[in-house]
């Protein structure tokens, strides 16, 4: 199956499980969007999560790294699935880097050694707000980060923000491609397609 075929399959899978929605939604970054993708739903659809892990695995082939790092919370099950697919270790930062008040009081979960290279795993990127919060918190532990891999790029400047910080963004597909597929497959009408593209191009 070609990359384009995988993109069509992913778009249709997301639409089928209700993870791809059209309406009015406000993101963490403050952007109001006519499109919303809820990739947290993957946890309820293991077959789709397994397919998604393989898509990430393809993206990771060209990247050198020692460990994966999942961004809380949506990307944690994805990172876990990729880890199983590739048999590579992963770590994750506790939400907001908060330490537990019991046990070992760690803020970064999983084994790691200073100087190792970590690749960030996120579900999607708009303005890279979550990634740019998580990356410094992980780097503080002596780990090196050069790359971030996401399933979807909204094309809202996240890639530029990461590049400015010295990081590379690798995305399986763009929201423009997703919207075009939904229109081509008859899942949205011409008006919704136009509205979505105007938002993405704004």
CA distances from 61 to 54, 127, 147, 149 (A): 11, 25, 12, 11
Residues 62-75 have a mean pLDDT of: 95
Helix (H, G, I), strand (E, B) or coil at 113: coil
* Percent of the chain predicted with pLDDT > 70: 95
Give bridge partners of residue 173 from the DSSP assignment: 152
**Whether residue 92 has pLDDT greater than 70:** yes
**Whether residue 103 has pLDDT greater than 50:** no
Domains belonging to the chain, first-starting first, are 3-201 (3.40.50.2020)
Give the model's confidence band at 94: pLDDT under 50 very low, under 70 low, under 90 confident, else very high: confident
Per-residue pLDDT tens digits for 129-174: 999 999 999 999 999 999 999 999 999 999 999 999 999 999 999 9
Q: What does DSSP say about strands 144-153 and 168-174: parallel, antiparallel, or unpaired?
A: parallel
Give the model's confidence band at 98: pLDDT under 50 very low, under 70 low, under 90 confident, else very high: very low
CA distances from 191 to 19, 197, 198 (A): 21, 10, 11
Q: What is the pTM for the complete model shown?
A: 0.91
**Whether residue 105 has pLDDT greater than 90:** no
**Whether residue 127 has pLDDT greater than 80:** yes
């Amino acid at each position: 199956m070609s990359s384009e075929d995988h993109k069509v399959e992913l778009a249709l899978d997301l639409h089928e499980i209700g993870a791809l929605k059209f309406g009015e939604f406000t993101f963490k970054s403050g952007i109001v969007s006519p499109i919303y993708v809820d990739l947290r739903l993957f946890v309820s659809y293991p077959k789709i999560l397994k397919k998604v892990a393989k898509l990430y695995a393809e993206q990771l082939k060209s990247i050198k790294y020692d460990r994966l790092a999942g961004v809380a919370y949506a990307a944690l099950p994805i990172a876990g699935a990729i880890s199983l697919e590739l048999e590579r270790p992963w770590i994750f930062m506790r939400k907001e880097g908060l330490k537990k008040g019991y046990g070992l009081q760690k803020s970064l979960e999983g084994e790691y050694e200073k100087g190792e290279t970590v690749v960030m795993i996120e579900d999607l990127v708009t303005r890279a707000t979550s990634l740019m919060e998580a990356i410094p918190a992980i780097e503080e532990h002596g780990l090196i980060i050069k790359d971030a891999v996401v399933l979807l790029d909204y094309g809202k400047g996240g890639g530029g923000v990461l590049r400015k910080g010295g990081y590379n963004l690798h995305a399986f597909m763009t929201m423009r491609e997703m919207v075009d597929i939904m229109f081509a497959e008859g899942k949205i009408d011409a008006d919704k397609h136009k509205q979505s593209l105007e938002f993405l191009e704004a």
